[in-house]
Amino acid sequence: MKASSHDAIVIGGGHNGLVCAAYMARAGHKTVVLERRSMAGGAAASEAVWSGWTVSTASYVCSLLHPRIIEELNLKAFGYDAYIKDPATFTPLADGRALLLSSSAQDNAREIGAFCRRDIEGFKLLDREISRLGASVFDALLLPDGELATAARVMAADYCRSAADLVEGYIETPVLQAAIATDGLIGTYAGPRTPGTAYVLAHHYAGRAFGRQGAWGYVRGGMGTVSRAIAGAAAAAGAEIRTGCNVTHLLDDGERAVGVALDDGSELRARCVLSNADPKTTFLGLVRPSLLPVAFVDRVQRWQCDGISLKVNLALGELPEFTARPTRGRPGPHHRATIHVAPSMEYLQQAYEDARDGGVSKAPLLECFLQTPTDPSIAPPGKHLLSIFAQYYPHDRLDGPWTDARRESAADAVVAALAPFAPNVPASIEARQILAPPDLQARFGLWGGHIFHGELLPGQIFDRRFSTRTPLAGLYLCGSGAHPGGCVSGAPGWRAARAALADLASVSAQPSVL
């Protein structure tokens, strides 16, 4: 079929691809986004999984979306409406006690003091240190590739530690330690005592979307609202967004990328191609191997990308009733928090070791979210949506491949882990959606089901992540496989657009040889 021409082609309509397209179009370049699915947004999507429900199927909360991107793309004008999640965390315990942490220093002192008075001051110092680490990550989010090595050297001493070493140096209460250390584990095939997980923790404190370092929040209407707002900004700038378009491979002239081929036989040509796909999909699936250096291909093949995240979305007929903080069916402060099943560092470490040594966690780490108490629009009246993020459930299980029975068994184990703390949950489940790592790969194109396009650990962060500019001229990486990595930040898309625009301007400025 006849090829059509553009200035820029973006492969993948996830939030980073949409950010990239918006900036390319704003600069006056004819830009098209090609998304395989029937809807743009990638893992930042809201879907009507059940009639009357709006489910954030994968990504579920917001923090790292860069304030510069929010402002420059005027996302609020296109429907972006986020609000802070406060309290921050709620962790019930088997003995009937619970820990609730919020933005109130006075309330935190009361909660922590019920366990250990010494930890009141220790928590303040730890929070200050984690905020410092998060701020240093934030300052590096939009750095160009050439400055990342220097930033990595400056931060190396801080980030080579484990989350456990960082946390245990300040506080001693097991549940308080675990409540904080979980942010060093989310999306990561590592335990709290694995070196480098202090960086993962800092990464999750890097956001300033709400004007407060490390604060997290919900997006009204679900995470798909983020993607729709960015898509709206891109379209307003002139970008074209095509869904149902599956790219099979890149077109090249032997030296540089010149376009893409689609599975319907059509071809699109462009001055540059920007891939929002993960590194393995991009370099092992779309590019002719002979165009890449052998050492680079070997690096791609060795890229650590085994996802361990299980997402279970539950449609509940009633609000979870926690025995540690009973509310008789009325929303309480703890319902607005991230609800953890993570009583101690030892619990977290054992959950990791179970998966590493045998298959999956016997007693999983759970992060649970209830947006419905603050945004009832996403569920039918009187009902609640419980979003559960569980670890560790590896894509490559040592005990054999994922089957439907194993998916159901994993979801059963997740519900069973929550039930002792909220006994009414099992009977109130009206429907459930289970997304194991193979499902995340099939649905969202995440190699290995890894939510960050690869581990965010030393050896795969800063200058050791994949560069925005690739070994193939004209091809750029605008997804989370490039710095700064995962979470809904938009930074990889911003950085890729900036690099591509600079290169296009440089080519345009060269004198003609004709």
Residue 106 C-alpha from the chain's centroid: 32
Residues 6+ apart with CB under 8 A from 90: 98, 99, 100, 101, 322, 325, 334, 337, 338, 339, 340
Q: What is the model's pLDDT at position 406?
A: 97
What mean pLDDT do residues 426-448 have?
A: 97
Query: Please, what CATH class does the domain formed by 86-215+308-394+396-435 belong to?
Result: alpha beta
pLDDT of residue 326: 96
Per DSSP, helices labelled H in 217-264 are 224-236
Q: According to the 3-state scheme, what is the secondary structure of 400-465?
A: CCCCHHHHHHHHHHHHHHHCCCCCCHHHHEEEEEEECHHHHHHHHCCHHHCCCCCCCCCCCCHHHC
Q: Note the pLDDT tens digit of each residue in 27-51.
A: 999 999 999 999 999 999 999 999 9
Label residues 265-289 b or e (16+ Cβ within 10 Å = b).
Answer: eeebebbbbbbbbbbbbbbbebbee
Average pLDDT taken over every residue of the chain: 96
pLDDT band at 133 (very low <50, low <70, confident <90, very high): very high
pLDDT band at 508 (very low <50, low <70, confident <90, very high): low
Matching residue, tokens 């301007």: 505
**Domain 4-44+67-81+221-304+448-509: CATH class, spelled out:** alpha beta
Over residues 112-140, the mean pLDDT reads 97
Domain spans, the chain: 4-44+67-81+221-304+448-509, 86-215+308-394+396-435
pLDDT recorded at residue 513: 34
pLDDT of amino acid 297: 97
pLDDT tens digits for range 348-405: 999 999 999 989 999 999 999 999 999 999 999 999 999 999 999 999 999 999 999 9
Q: What is the pLDDT of residues 203-253, one digit of tens each?
A: 999 999 999 999 999 999 999 999 999 999 999 999 999 999 999 999 999
User: How much of the chain, in percent, has pLDDT values that exceed 90?
Assistant: 96
The pLDDT tens digits for 83-95 are 999 999 999 999 9
- Which string of DSSP letters, residue by residue, matches 359-376? SS-SS-EEEEEE-TTT-G
Tokens of 312: 């279970």
Percent of the chain at pLDDT > 70 equals: 98
Taking 60 as the threshold, does the pLDDT of residue 303 lie above it?
yes
Tens-place pLDDT, residues 56-67: 999 999 999 999
Contact 474, 7 (CB under 8 A): no
Using alpha carbons, list the distances in angstroms from residue 285 to 130, 150, 280, 445. 39, 32, 7, 12
Name the nearest CA neighbour of 441 among 60, 58, 35, 62: 58
Residues ≥6 apart with Cβ < 8 Å to 385: 53, 55, 313, 314, 315, 316, 370, 371, 372, 378, 379
Q: How much is the pLDDT for 506?
A: 85
Q: Given this chain, do its domains 4-44+67-81+221-304+448-509 and 86-215+308-394+396-435 carry the same CATH topology?
A: no
Res 309 pLDDT > 50: yes
- Predicted pLDDT at 507: 72
CA distance 141 to 135: 10
